[in-house]
A and B are shown apart, each in its own frame.
Chain A
Amino acid sequence: MNSFLYTSILFLSTLTFAQTKVDISLDTNRALVGDVIQMDINVNSNVQVIWPDIEVLIAPIEVQSFSEIDSVLKSNLNRYHQNLSIQLFDTGDFVLPQLPFVSSEGDTFYTDSLNISFVPVLLDTTNVVFDIKGPEDVPFNFSEAKPIVYGSFIILVLILLIYYLIQKIKIKKGVIEEEIAPSIPCEIEALEALKNLESQGLCEMGEIKNHYVQLTEILRCYFDRQFELETIESTTDEIVERLRTKKIEISLLTDITRLLEEADLVKFAKSNPDNFTNKRFMESSYRIVECCHNMNEEVLDV
């Protein structure tokens, strides 16, 4: 009866006090240096348990990776589980120390300590020693080369386009230059044009305005070429002002001004100069061209 009483008391005490069980297991106790060993920790407790800092405790053995602590509550019992992958880059026998788990009631529960052997890799000395293999060649893949191929193609097309445009501009320039720079010197061209105008006898035919339009055009073209002035797009005042900068003799400049102003009167104010005046301006035009040319020659000689 007494023994039954004691047994009952003992059995009840196990029910009333905290029940905590910690367990640790390895998938192997022997591994090659650097090999990974799986370590499982299982804790069953009806109270909360504080997890130790395993990484610090098991040093020098290294923790390569670890899972989250998995907890399951079943029949008022907390079941904790964690898996760790451990390894060591050293050889020898090592002792995995006891890991302390502290319950919320202040009791500490330890796991068993375990022995682990890390053995070196055995060298096969019977075989011939080979050279270290070089890196393998990567097989050709067109999708990787696509940007380079397409980029090169675009650059090539652009180069050809630029070359084509340059050639086109050169051709165009050449044409313009040919147009702008005829072989005949400007003074000869002007004198011939004046002779041609005179031979037309426009004044005698009553086409005085047309005569002065052509006369001023010849002179403006001549000034344009001789002094490189933009006289075609300039008014009489502007032409005179620009010629003044070319240091033309005052008397010659006066003649030019008089002629252009008279031409303006004919062109824009229906002025009708007499034959004598027309003849005088025609002669004056020849003289202007010759004097301007001589003056320019002198400047070039100096």
Chain B
Amino acid sequence: MDSLEIKEINEKIKQESAFVDLLSLEMNKVIIGQKYMIERLLIALLGNGHILLEGVPGLAKTLAINTLSKAISGKFSRIQFTPDLLPSDVIGTTVYNMPKNEFSIKKGPIFGNFILADEINRAPAKVQSALLEAMQERQVTIGDETFAMDEPFLVLATQNPVEQEGTYPLPEAQVDRFMLKTVIDYPKQEDERIIMRNSLTDSHQAVNAVVSLEEIMNARSVIKTVYMDEKIENYILDIIFATRYPERFGLDHLSALISFGSSPRGSINLATAAKVYAFIKRRGYVVPEDVRAVCHDVLRHRIGITYEAEAEDVSSEDIINQILNKVEVP
């Protein structure tokens, strides 16, 4: 790949990424003050991944994915995870058809483009497992038949950081399947004023479908062509390896705080997310800034912290910060 090709990619990206602004504008009609969340949703969508959102109730998590599905004219499903939910409630089941005297398949809500798994940690492990398996394999087997999931297939799972009683925290292996884990904070005061006014005057604007599913699929294929230099690859690998062997990067003190580092899925997702970020920023190549911009969301849930770290009030966020401040930028 030479510089001419990169210029071509740049041109192509400028054309293909035009919808990003349109989509953001459309979503911003309804979602106020959650620019960061919208950007992360787009990264997961274009990176062919899934996203785990953590935030207190009322931060427009459901509204965001609903709006996204409307703006892309996709099929939206919402599954409220509860302790009595069964895997068949998510993926579907076979139902006896009396007139035909046969079993017919009743597909579950997972068959959609945009799935909101609300409060995923409220359902038992078998339900979480059913969903996460569908997320990973992108296919579901009901009875004897296997069904491929619709594309694009984006699962947005939410977790409430408070009220942990009676919940089933997602195991590390399951959490690893989410491309991003984004922590959402409260909107700014000015943004909340607008939300409040809009709500009081009932002046929410209607969301129009501005992007087609084909455009999303095209964008995904263009993103694959975004150039990533070997130096950037090394930078990503350095960050990932620093989570596993911090002592090799002069971060000896982190060894006692990290119980396990990022898996190879971490490096794959970090590279993919960096490419998508570059695409969103209309660039045909990845720069270290792109890696840094998505690093926290990609690695946050992939670094296990020890009891010692918990006792010292050190979070995986702090560990990532220390790693980024230590690993040399190319």
| Chain A interface residues (CB < 8 Å from chain B) | 213, 230, 232-237, 264-265, 267-272
Contact = CB atoms under 8 A, between A and B. Distances in A.
A83 to B, nearest CB: 66
Query: Which 8 A-B pairs rank lowest in CB-CB distance, beginning with the nearest?
Result: A269-B285, A268-B229, A235-B288, A270-B3, A272-B3, A235-B289, A269-B6, A268-B287
11 contacts: A233-B324, A233-B329, A236-B287, A267-B231, A268-B231, A269-B284, A270-B3, A270-B227, A271-B3, A272-B2, A272-B3
A168 to B, nearest CB: 16
Interface hub of B326, B327, B330 (most chain A Cβ within 10 A): B330
Contacts of B244: none
Interface hub of B327, B328, B329 (most chain A Cβ within 10 A): B329
Contacts of B328: 232-233
Contact of B330 (A230, A267, A270, A271): A267
B232 interface: yes
Interface in B300-330: 324-330
Contact of B6 (A230, A233, A267, A270): A270
A232 B288 CA distance: 12
A270 B283 CA distance: 13
B1 interface: yes
B1 A270 contact: yes
Interface of B: 1-3, 5-6, 227, 229, 231-232, 283-289, 292, 324-330
Contacts of B231: 267-268
Contact of A236 (B227, B289, B327): B289
Q: Interface residues of B: mostly helix, strand, loop or mixed?
A: mixed
A234 B232 contact: no
Contact of B289 (A232, A237, A270, A272): A237
Contacts of A237: 289
A169 B302 CA distance: 35
A232 B329 contact: yes
Given A230-B325, A269-B3, A270-B2, A235 B229 contact: no
Contacts of B327: 233
B6 A271 contact: yes
Contacts of A233: 324-329
Nearest to B10: A269
A178 B330 CA distance: 26
A271 B329 CA distance: 19
Given A268-B287, A270-B2, 7 more contacts: A233-B324, A233-B329, A235-B329, A268-B330, A270-B229, A271-B3, A272-B2
Nearest to B5: A270
A265 B227 CA distance: 11
A230 B326 CA distance: 10
A131 B117 CA distance: 98
Contacts of B6: 269-271
A268 B285 contact: yes
A269 B329 CA distance: 16
A268 B5 CA distance: 13
Contacts of B326: 233
A18 B289 CA distance: 116
Nearest to A232: B328
A236 B292 CA distance: 12
B229 A267 contact: yes
A267 B6 CA distance: 13
A264 B287 contact: yes
A234 B287 CA distance: 12
Contacts of A234: 329
B232 A268 contact: yes
A267 B233 CA distance: 12
A234 B292 CA distance: 10
A133 to B, nearest CB: 62
A265 B229 CA distance: 10
